[in-house]
Chains A and B, each alone.
Chain A
Amino acid sequence: MQLQLKAETIERKKRNSWRKIVQQRYLLLMSLPFVVWLFIFHYLPLWGWTMAFQRYRPGRSFFEQDWVGFTNFVQLFSDERFYLVLRNTVAMSFMALIVGYTVPIIFALLLNEIRLITFKRTMQTISYLPHFVSWVIVAGIVTKMLSTEGGPINELLMALNIIDQPIQFMAKGEWFWWIVTLSDMWKETGWNSIIFLAAIAGIDPEQYEAATVDGAGRFRRMWHVTLPGIRPTIFIMLILSIGWLMSIGFEKQFLLGNPMVQDYAEVIDLYVLNYGINLGRYSYGTAIGIFNSLVSITLLLSSNYIFKRLTKESVI
C-alpha cells in the first residue's frame, strides 16, 4: 500500500517535470546553447589537466600517451627557478593586495570630504580614466615617464637636485616590484574606490549631524561615522581580494619586464608561457597551472570560511 503510493507520487513527479520541461521549452532553448558553450570552453580545458600526469606528446591520442604519475610535480618542486618565480608571484600579489586595497579606501574617504560638488565630480571622472586604458599603453606611458632620455621623473629629480644622473629605473631588478605596484595603483585606485564611495553615499546623513552636534571634528567624523559605516564593504572587499590573491595575472609583468629584470619579473603565469608553450613542455606547464589553481582555491575557500565565522555570511 505504502509502496504503491510512493511509486505513484514518483510517477506523478516525473509527469510533472515532463510537463514543466515542455512548458519551459523556450527557457531551455534559450539557455542550452550557452550551457554547451560553457562545457566546451570552460570544462573541457579542465580535462586537459590529465596532461600533467603524462609525458604529453602532440599528435598522439589520449590513450597512447605515457602516464608518468607525479613526475612533473616532483620535477617542478625540485626546480630552483620555480621557487624564484613563486617568490615573485607572492611578493607582487601581497604588494598589490595591500596597496590596491587600502589606497582606494583612503582616496574615497578624502573625496568624500570635498564639498565643491563640481570639483568632486571632476576628480572622480579623472581618476577613472586610466582604468579604461590598456596595460599595453600604460606600460608604454610608464616606460616613457621613467626613461633616462628626457623622462619627466628623472628630469624632476634632477631639477630638484636629488640626483645628478638619470636613474635607469627599468633596468633595476629590485625596483621592478615597486614599479609594477605603483603603476597598478596609478591605473586602478580611482576605479577601485567606486565601491567604497557608493557605500559612503549610503550612510545616513543624520549620523553626521549628530556627530557634529556632539562636537566631533572632521577627523573624528571620518573615524567614527564614515569608517564604521562602510565596514561591511571593507570586509567583503578584503575577503574577495584575498581570494583573488594568486590571480594577479602576468600582463603587467609581461609588458613592463625586460631581460635585465627577468629574475624579479617572472611570475607563475609567465613561467607557464615561457616554459610550457614556447618550449613545448606542455605537461610541465600544465602541472604549474594546476599548482596555481589549487593555491588560489585554497586561499578563496579559507578566506570565505573565516568570513563566514566572522559575519555568518558567505561571499561565494
Chain B
Amino acid sequence: MPVGVGKGVSDRIFDVFLYTFMILVGIVTLYPFLNVLAISFNNSTDTIRGGIHIWPRMFTLDNYRTIFQYDLLLTAFGNSVLRTILGTAIGVFSSSMLAYVISRRDFIYRRQVSILFAITLYVSGGLIPFYMLMRDMNLLGTFAIYILPGIINAWNVFVIRSYMDGLPPSLQESARIDGANDLRIFWSVILPLCKPVLATIALFIAVGQWNAWFDTYLFNSSKEHLTTLQYEMMKILSNTSASQSADAFRSGDVDAATRVSPESIRMAITIVATVPILIVYPFMQRYFVRGLTLGAVKS
C-alpha cells in the first residue's frame, strides 16, 4: 500500500484525475444495467417515447406480470434453474472427488490420471466430432446433454487439488488410524475443510450453467420443453436486431408473444435472466479472488 507522505501538488492533480476516471468507469459499467432496470419497470407504451435513463417515468409491474404469463418463458426459467442446480451439485461433487484422489501423493496412478485430464485443457476434438458423438449417443433432444458433457472441468479440478495440497496431512493420518476408509476421509474430513474453494468452483459452474445458450441452440432447438432462458433471450435478440421492418413484428404464431415484445418486456426478461447471479456474486467475492489466484499460481 503506498504511503501517504509528501502530498505535493502533482499528487493532488493525480488524485483528481484518478477519482474522476474511476467514477467514469463506474458509470460506464453501471449505466447500461440501471437503464435496463428502469425500462423494465416502465410502462411499455410510454417507453417508446424514449428518454428513459436510470429512473422509470411511469412505474409499473405489468412487464413482469406479462412475462410470467408466457408458458415458454416459464419452462425456460424452470430448465435454467434446474440445470444450474443439478449441474453445480454434480460438478462440485465430481470435481472435488477427483481432486482428492489426485491430491493423494501415494495414489499409484496419480500422474497418469492428472496428465489425462490436463491434456483436455489444450486439445479438443472440435465442434463437429463432438456433435456427432452426442448424436450417436442419442443425447440430442435430452435434458442430460446440459449436464453430462460438462461434469468435470480439468481446470476446476486442479484448483481444488492445489487447495487440498495446502491442508495439513496430519488430519488424514489420524482419521486413517481411526479406521476410516478413503471415501470416508474424503467425505467427512477433507470436504468440510474445502468449503472456500468449493464455494468458488460452485459459483463458476453455476454462472456457466445459467449463462449457457449454445448447447440449447445446437442440440435442443427443436424441443420446446427443453428450452432455456438464455436461449430464449438470444432468439428475442436476434429477432429484434435482424428485423427492423414492421411486418416481422406483426406475425402471430406460438412465440409471437416474445417476438413482438416491446422494449420494456425485453428488458424485464433481461433482468430475470441476470439478477439471480448478480445477487450472489458480491457475497462470493472474497472466495473467488482467492480461487483465481490459486488457479494461476499452481497450473
What is the interface of chain A, defined by CB distance below 8 A to chain B?
17, 20-21, 24, 26-31, 34-35, 37-38, 40-42, 44-49, 51, 107, 110-115, 119, 122-130, 132-137, 139-141, 143-145, 149-150, 152, 170, 186, 190, 194-195, 197-198, 205, 208-209, 212, 217-219, 221, 233, 236-237, 243, 251, 255, 258-259, 269, 272-273, 276-277, 282, 285-286, 289-290, 292-293, 296-297, 300, 316
* B63 CB, min distance to chain A CBs, angstroms: 15
Docked complex Cα distance between A181 and B28 (Å): 16
Of the candidate stretches B67-75, B98-106, B165-173, the one touching chain A is B98-106
Question: Are the C-beta atoms of A255 and B1 separated by less than 8 Å?
Answer: no
Chain B residues, Cβ within 8 Å of A198: 289, 292-293
Taking a contact as CB atoms under 8 Å apart, the answer to whether A45 and B181 are in contact is no
- Of residues 4 through 29 on chain B, the ones whose CB sits less than 8 Å from some CB of chain A are 4-6, 8, 10-11, 14, 18-19, 21-22, 25-26, 28-29
Cβ contacts A to B, 10 pairs, < 8 Å: A30-B182, A31-B97, A48-B128, A51-B132, A110-B18, A126-B26, A132-B281, A136-B213, A137-B273, A198-B293
Give the Cβ gap from B145 to chain A, nearest Cβ, in Å: 11
- Please name all residues of chain B whose beta carbon is closer than 8 Å to the beta carbon of A31 when the two chains form the complex: 97-98, 101-102, 109, 113
Q: DSSP majority for the B interface?
A: helix
Instruction: Name which residue of chain B comes closest to A189, CB basis.
Output: B25
Binding site for A on B (CB under 8 A): 1-6, 8, 10-11, 14, 18-19, 21-22, 25-26, 28-33, 35-36, 50-51, 53, 94, 97-98, 100-102, 104, 106-109, 113, 116-118, 120, 122-133, 137, 148-149, 151-152, 181-183, 186, 207, 210-214, 218, 230, 233-234, 237, 241-242, 266, 270, 273-274, 277-278, 281-282, 285, 288-289, 292-293, 296
Residue of B107, B128, B273 near A272 (CB, 8 A) is B128
Partner of B211, one of A48, A128, A136: A136
Contacts A125-B282, A209-B3 known; A41 to B149 CB distance under 8 Å?
A: yes
Residue numbers in B under 8 Å from A205 (CB-CB): 1, 3
A123-B22, A130-B29, A212-B6 known; A34 vs B94 contact (CB < 8 Å): yes
Chain A's interface: helix, strand, loop or mixed, by majority? helix
Considering the chains assembled together, what is the distance between the CA atoms of A17 and B109 in angstroms? 11
> Is the CB–CB distance between A143 and B237 below 8 Å?
yes
